[in-house]
Amino acid sequence: MKKFTIAASFVAASFAMAMPAQAWQPTKPIEFVVASGPGGGTDNFARIIQSIITKHKLVEQPIVVLNKGGGSGAEAFIYGKGGKGDAHKVVFGTNNAYLLPYVAKLGYKFSDLTPVAALALDEFLIWVNGNSPYNDAKTYIDAVKAKPGSFKMAGSQSKDTDQTLTAMIQDATGAKWIYVPFQGGGAAATQLAGGHVDSNTNNPNENIGQWKAGQVKPLCVFSPVRLAKGEPVHNGKGWGDIPTCKEAGLPLESFQMPRTVWLPAEVPADAVGFYADVMEKVSKTPEWAEFVARTAQTARFMKGKELTDFVAKDEAANAKVFKDEGWVVN
């Protein structure tokens, strides 16, 4: 009887060891920490994902969205750093997660974050006020070149994507703007619609409301090809009617920014896998397809090595601009 008990115990123990560990699941409310103010592209990105997750019941725990756009979005990443090991803090950003430490002495390093996924690539355009006399990019650029430092270019935050693109346009064309940073793309859109600045380089999602109302108008898009036409947005024109900036005579063909998702450092690997799986499911829903089409983004889901390779390439390209502009901090 004793031999049987020992044998049975050994078999039971062996079976338990062979069973896979239970996959990680959130055990309390999840914080979606947004590296921008309300209304910006990152805010919209996080909130549509929250709504899709809720609708399709992809996560059992409730989700709370927190906007932390201070310091060009660094506030969100510092908050993420403070949650080291806590997989209930999910940070939403762009390439600012790994580029901000180049241009500012901040309370976090890129290594304080864990990459989870990217779901889309943002396209960028040159926009002017709806009542502006300029109807094409070349005419506007020529006007800026004629009066250097007289025109204001609004952007989302300082030494971030918008200012990087502005610097690239300036280097390529010889134009010179006064760059005016705001806390997010939503604020930059409002300022342009109100006539307080002359232009911005917002992505489609950030300016679509103002374009529908005729308060702003697009001049060109920094894409190798025109965007998908889709439904008309204003006066019978849609995204596909906007010329590429190369068509418009600007020597810049493409500029894209990833929409990214992060966790703090030192979280369990299966927690990263859990959120990557959730985000991939989100990317396959009709609601996500509709959002990407409506906001004229390029759908591209990345995780794992594909994501880390993309980040490395994008980091190197942007770092060159930062060095050329003298933005890199020691």
Report pLDDT digits (tens) over 63-120. Answer: 999 999 988 899 999 999 999 999 999 999 999 999 999 999 999 999 999 999 999 9
110: domain CATH number is 3.40.190.150
Q: Which amino acid is at 183?
A: Q
Identify the residue with better confidence: 165 or 11.
165
What pLDDT score was predicted for residue 7?
A: 42
Mean pLDDT of the chain, nearest integer: 91
- What is the domain extent for residue 64? 30-121+258-325
CA distance 307 to 264: 17
- pLDDT at residue 3 tops 70: no
228: domain CATH number is 3.40.190.10
Q: Are residues 60 and 161 in the same domain?
A: no
Containing H/E element for 180?
Answer: strand 178-182
What pLDDT score was predicted for residue 15?
A: 36
Domain count, the chain: 2
Q: Are residues 264 and 279 in the same domain?
A: yes
In contact, 124 and 221? CB cutoff 8 Å: yes
Report pLDDT digits (tens) over 270-308. Answer: 999 999 999 999 999 999 999 998 888 889 999 999 999
What pLDDT score was predicted for residue 231?
A: 87
Q: Are residues 266 and 314 in the same domain?
A: yes
Q: Are residues 34 and 78 in the same domain?
A: yes
* Among candidate residues 281, 140, 247, 257, the one with its CA nearest the CA of residue 205: 257
Q: What is the DSSP letter of 234?
A: B
What pLDDT score was predicted for residue 13?
A: 39
What pLDDT score was predicted for residue 176?
A: 97
What pLDDT score was predicted for residue 108?
A: 96
Containing H/E element for 244?
Answer: none
* Among candidate residues 273, 322, 286, the one with its CA nearest the CA of residue 21: 273
Give the distance from CA 106 to its chain's centroid: 20
Report pLDDT digits (tens) over 169-216. Answer: 999 999 999 999 998 888 999 999 999 999 999 989 889 999 999 999
Report pLDDT digits (tens) over 219-268. Answer: 999 988 899 888 899 999 999 999 999 999 999 888 989 999 999 999 99
Identify the residue with better confidence: 130 or 19.
130
CA distance 132 to 33: 36
What pLDDT score was predicted for residue 317?
A: 85
